[in-house]
Amino acid sequence: MISQELNDQITRIGPETQAGAVLRRYWQPAALSDEVQGDVPVPVNLMGERLALIREGDGLLPITRQADPSEAPTHHPASGDIREVQGGPRYPAVDRAGVVFAYLGPGDPPAFPNFDCFRAPEDHVFAFKGLWQCNWLQALEIGIDPAHASYLHRFLEDADPEEGYGQQFRDKAAHTDMPMTQVLREYPRPDIQVDETEYGLRITALRHMANDLTHVRVTNQIFPEAICIPMSREMTITQWHVPVDDENCYWYTVFTSFKTPVNKEVMRAQRLKEHRLPDYAPLKNRENNYHYDPAEQERLTYTGMGLDINVHDQWAVEGMGPIQDRTQEHLGRSDVAIIRYRRMLRHAIKAVEEGDEGALPMRGADVTRLVGPLSNDSIAATQDWKSASRAADLARRAECPWDATV
Ligand SMILES: [Fe+2]
CA of 55 to the centre of ligand 1 (A): 34
CA of 153 to the centre of ligand 1 (A): 7
Q: Which residues contact 170 (CB under 8 A, 6 or more apart)?
A: 159, 161, 163, 164, 179, 180, 181, 232
Give the dihedral sign, CA 223/8/253/47: negative
At residue 58, the pLDDT reads: 66
At residue 165, the pLDDT reads: 79
| Grouped pLDDT means (10 residues each) for the chain, 406 residues | 97 97 97 88 90 79 64 48 67 94 94 97 98 98 95 88 75 80 91 97 95 94 98 94 98 98 96 96 97 96 94 97 97 96 98 96 92 94 92 95 96
The full 3-state SS of 12-56, as one line of letters, equals CCCCCCHHHHHHCCCCEEEEEHHHCCCCCCEEEEECCEEEEEEEE
CA within 13 Å, CB half, 382: 10
CA of 145 to the centre of ligand 1 (A): 8
- Which residues are paired to 229 by β-bridges? 237
Q: What is the DSSP string of 110-123?
A: PPPPEEHHHHS-GG
Give the dihedral sign, CA 354/355/356/362: positive
Would you give the DSSP letter of residue 97? T
Give the dihedral sign, CA 266/252/101/146: negative
CA of 151 to the centre of ligand 1 (A): 9
At residue 60, the pLDDT reads: 73
At residue 175, the pLDDT reads: 75
CA of 71 to the centre of ligand 1 (A): 31
CA of 312 to the centre of ligand 1 (A): 7
At residue 163, the pLDDT reads: 74
Q: Which residues contact 292 (CB under 8 A, 6 or more apart)?
A: 303, 304, 305
What pTM was estimated for this model as a whole?
A: 0.94
Q: Report the distance separating Cα 63 and Cα 90, nearest Å.
A: 5
Q: Name the CA dihedral angle for 351, 353, 356, 362, rounded to a multiple of 10 degrees.
A: 50
Between the CA of residue 344 and those of 8, 339, 348, what are the distances in Å?
A: 16, 9, 6
CA of 316 to the centre of ligand 1 (A): 9
Q: Report the distance separating Cα 279 and Cα 296, nearest Å.
A: 29
Quick one: which of 179, 223, 175 has its CA closest to 197?
A: 223
At residue 173, the pLDDT reads: 79
> Is the distance from CB of 195 to CB of 205 less than 8 angstroms?
no
Helix (H) or strand (E) segment spanning residue 370:
none
CA of 322 to the centre of ligand 1 (A): 18
CA of 245 to the centre of ligand 1 (A): 22
CA of 305 to the centre of ligand 1 (A): 13
Q: Which residues contact 206 (CB under 8 A, 6 or more apart)?
A: 190, 191, 192, 193, 214, 215, 216, 385
CA of 343 to the centre of ligand 1 (A): 22
Q: Which residues contact 370 (CB under 8 A, 6 or more apart)?
A: 113, 114, 115, 198, 199, 362
> Is the distance from CB of 117 to CB of 101 less than 8 angstroms?
no
Q: Report the distance separating Cα 296 and Cα 290, nearest Å.
A: 13
Q: Report the distance separating Cα 290 and Cα 281, nearest Å.
A: 12
At residue 210, the pLDDT reads: 87
Quick one: which of 103, 26, 89, 12 has its CA closest to 357?
A: 26
> Is the distance from CB of 393 to CB of 376 less than 8 angstroms?
yes
Query: pLDDT, tens digit, for every residue of 102-149?
Result: 999 999 999 999 999 999 999 999 999 999 999 999 999 999 999 999
